[in-house]
Structure formats: structure tokens, C-alpha cells
Amino acid sequence: MAVITVERKPLSFLERTYLPNIAAGLATTFKRMVQPSETLEYPEVRPEIPVGYRGVPTLVYDPHGREKCVSCQLCEFVCPPKAIRITPGEIPADSPNAHVEKAPKEFKIDMLRCIYCGLCQEVCPEEAIWLQNQYSMTGLTREEMVNDKKRLYELGGTLPDTHFKWDKKKAAEEAAAHGGHH
């Protein structure tokens, strides 16, 4: 590639005094000053959270109210700062969700460790853990900063879902048991 030498014009006398530029700078700042400020008055006015925002990781229910996490512990394994602690548990046989077999007994995310990387959401095979638009986590003690299962579901709520893969699987199994084969 050819080298292009840029002609540099020698500075004119006025330019060398910097005064026109200083005046221009002053004009710019003055314009800024009379413009309305761009700050949001935070606690009263909340910022708009864009789609795809990575806030506090939360656990979600599916539209039938089933907790989606099956405590496979993949997220616990992938979490870089080891913020997640899961105690796996069984689903009692009399539950309507007994076919899912497993659910977390306890699920803890230490928000003092979490780095909001979103890997847990990415790795989860059940789409059970989501980083949603909750951005302000505060607490007065270290214990308060650890979100337990109850709190995680409170924060997460229900997300729309169309897969219902466990229900489909159960239906398929039942159909197979009745009809022998497809």
C-alpha cells in the first residue's frame, strides 16, 4: 500500500495563540451548560432495561407452574467464580411432576461472588436459570447477599415457554406404554 503523506499546513498566527480554539471550546461548554442535564434522577426515575440485559441470575417456573430446574448442576459446574451451590433433591412420587424426577432441594447463588457472566444461563439445558433485568442487589450482611431458592424464584417468576419437553416426553412414554409402538 502506498504511503500517503498528509500535507500539514503550518499553523497560522491566530491558531498558534490557541485563542480561537479556546473560544470555540468555551462556546461548546456553554452550550452544554444550558442544555437540560442527561442524568436520570435514579430512585424516582428508573432506567429502561434493554432486551438481553444481564441482571441478577434467577430461577423461573414454566407456564404450568413447574420449577424448571432439574438440579443437573451444570451451572454450578460452569460458574467461573463458584457462586452457585445446589443441593439436589428428589421429587416426591405423588407430585404431578414426578416424571421429572429431580429438582433442587436448595439452590443458592452468592451475589457477592457472581460476576454476571451469564454462563449459567447459557449452559442450562432446561432454560431454568435466567439473568433478567434486576440490576440492584443490596444487603447489609453477607448472608443477605446470598439468594436462596425461594428468593431466586421470587425474582425469576414465570417465563413463557412452548417446549414443555417433560410433558411431551411423559405423553410419548404413556402412548408407547399403551400402544406398544409408534
Between residues 88 and 170, which has the closer beta carbon with respect to ligand SF4?
88
Of 60, 124, 152, 155, which lies in the binding site for ligand SF4, with binding defined by CB under 6 A? Answer: 124
Query: How far is the C-alpha of 130 from the C-alpha of 141, rounded, in Å?
Result: 25
Closest CB 20 distance from ligand SF4, rounded Å: 52
Find the angle CA(162)-CA(167)-CA(170) to the nearest 5 degrees. Answer: 150
Looking at 60, 62, 66, 83, which residue binds ligand SF4 (CB under 6 A)?
83
Query: Quick check: helix, strand or coil at residue 138?
Result: coil
| 69 counts as binding ligand SF4 under rule CB under 6 A | yes
DSSP character at residue 59: E
Grid cell, residue 92, equals 416426591
Burial of 59 (0-12, 13-18, 19+ CB in 10 A): buried
Q: Which stretch binds another protein (CB under 8 A): 24-32, 68-76, 80-88, 160-168?
A: 24-32
Tell me how far apart the alpha carbons of residues 164 and 166 are, in angstroms, rounded to a whole number. 6
| CB of residue 19 to ligand SF4, shortest distance in Å | 53
Copy the grid coordinates of residue 161: 415457554
Any contact of residue 72 with ligand SF4 (CB under 6 A)? yes
Say how far apart CA 114 and CA 117 lie, in whole Å. Answer: 8
Asked if 91 interacts with ligand SF4 (CB under 6 A), we say: no
Q: Binding of another protein at residue 157 (CB under 8 A)? A: no
Report the interface residues with ligand SF4, using CB under 6 A: 57, 69-75, 79-81, 83-84, 86, 109, 114-120, 123-124, 126, 128-129, 131
Give residues in contact with another protein (CB under 8 A): 22, 25-26, 28-30, 32-33, 35, 37-39, 41
